[in-house]
Amino acid sequence: MQVFRPNDEPNRPHGIMLLRDRMRKDGKTSLRMRLWPVVSMVLILISGLIGTPTPALHGEGLVTLLGGGTLAALIAIELIWDPQDNRSEFIFISLLGYSSIALMTVQPSGTAVLGTYAAVASAVIRLPKKLALAAIIPIIAIVEIGILATSSERFLVFSWTAIAYIFMFVIGHLLRLSEEHQIQAQALLDEEERTRLARNEAAALDERGRIARELHDVLAHSLSALSVELEGARLLALDRDVDADVIAAIGRAHRHAAAGLDEARAAIKALRGDMVPGPDKLEGLLEDMRASGIDCTLEIRGEERRLPSEAALAVFRTAQEALTNVRKHAEEAERVEIRLEYDPEGVQLIVTDSAGDGAEPRVPQPAALAGAGAGYGVSGMRERAELIGGRLLAGPTEDGFRVELWVPA
């Protein structure tokens, strides 16, 4: 069983550090995860400040001042900066150990030895093998050599101190293993969630494939037959010198059937995951409107970019349905304006039709955008938007109708 972190790992959080990284809030690790080293340093600092010699600018008091000042700086770093990379952790742990040793030399009866214990445990928890040994061995060696050289009961104190270091080493190792086991358990849960999502996606793809086949076998074939029959009826009417208005009506019906067939094929492609129509096809929709004698404009704002397939299709279908409604229900419409605006979080589509200058208002006063529109077209547009986290508003204006769509992108 490996005790330390592997030396060949990239410089990234690992073990308990990885758990701390996952628990970070607003760029800082939870205070609960940093409580024990901070408490240890605070106890050592308090003991150093009230012990003898007290901090001063000369002699042993200067050592107390430097050691205590270093500990105070380390407390601030742990609370404010919260170092995460290996080099910063190594420097932090080394400073903790050496400042504690400095206080031990002038205040042997104080609590500074706790800092060396905390440094050993922290090295095992936070650092890979080579860096951990490079931090631990000098600290333990200096402390034990100092005990053998100065203590009156050197062998007893040496033994107890060595046992304490071993104890802290084991505690640090067990803490790291415990956190790693939690991380492994969480990784398994994440993998299970990804597997569940993949199964759901596969099931959705199967269902979309089935619907695509049904559309192809039923709707597309029916529209193809209808288109052929209408073209035959138009030719027959021409051959028999039928009234021109009748021929024109049959021609319009034929074009609608052909357009419906194209849309059905596009829907089948979308269901099968093929390329779907998007904002780049809006100009083509406007060309059809211009052919009907309606003045159309397209304004694009913001930086154009590729949209997710669902968002792109929602923009196209909403514009298509809005223009279709203009042809069906707005006989007096003379102008259609489409505005497509890209922003960092999404894309907004606004389709407005108006009756032109001097026309009578369709409603007595302007109506605020609301959930108006009882037809299935508007309902379908709204449902399509809401399914991908967007929103759709539609309602009358003074001289026309307005549709607003926003979808995340």
Please name the amino acid found at residue 393. Answer: L
Q: Which pLDDT belongs to residue 362?
A: 41
**212 close to 274: Cβ distance less than 8 angstroms:** no
- Would residue 159 count as lying in a domain? no
What percent of the chain is helix, strand and coil (3-state, nearest 5)?
65, 10, 25
The residues, ordered by sequence, that sit 6+ positions from 238 with a Cβ below 8 Å of its Cβ are 247
- Domain membership of residue 166 (yes or no) is no
Residue 60 lies in a domain: yes
What is residue 246's predicted lDDT score, i.e. its pLDDT?
Answer: 83
What local confidence, expressed as pLDDT, does residue 217 receive? 65
What is the count of structural domains for the chain? 2
> What pLDDT score was predicted for residue 19?
42
pLDDT at 114: 80
Residue 331 domain flag: yes
**CATH number for the domain that contains residue 304:** 3.30.565.10
Q: H helices of 59-153, where?
A: 59-76, 86-106, 113-126, 129-150
Distance separating alpha carbons of residues 46 and 390, to the nearest angstrom: 58
Name the domain boundary from 126, 150, 174. Answer: 150
Residues in Cβ contact with 353 at an 8 Å cutoff, skipping those fewer than 6 apart? 322, 326, 330, 333, 335, 336, 337, 400, 401
The number of CA neighbours under 13 Å toward the Cβ of 92 is: 26
Residue 7 lies in a domain: no
Instruction: Look at residues 129, 150, 171 and tell me which one is the last residue of a structural domain.
Output: 150
Paired tokens of 51: 């012990």
- pTM of the full structure: 0.42
Short-list 342, 332, 355, 333, CA closest to 299: 342
In this structure, is residue 381 part of a structural domain?
yes
Tens of pLDDT along 326-365? 877 666 678 889 999 998 888 999 998 887 654 444 443 3
Decide if 387 contacts 394 (C-beta within 8 A): no
Whether 190 maps to a domain, the answer reads: no
Q: Which domain holds residue 347?
A: 277-409
Please, are residues 169 and 117 in contact by the beta-carbon 8 Å criterion? Answer: no
End-to-end CA distance of the chain: 47
Cα 286 from Cα 264, distance rounded (Å): 20
Domain boundary among 96, 129, 150: 150
Q: What are phi and psi of 296, to 5 degrees?
A: -125, 140
Q: Is residue 218 part of a domain?
A: no
Q: Would you state the pLDDT for residue 404?
A: 92
Q: Which residues of the chain have pLDDT under 50?
A: 1-6, 8-33, 358-375
Paired strand residues for 349 = 340, 405
pLDDT, position 83: 66
One-letter amino acid for residue 172 of the chain? G
Neighbours of 187 (CB within 10 A): 10
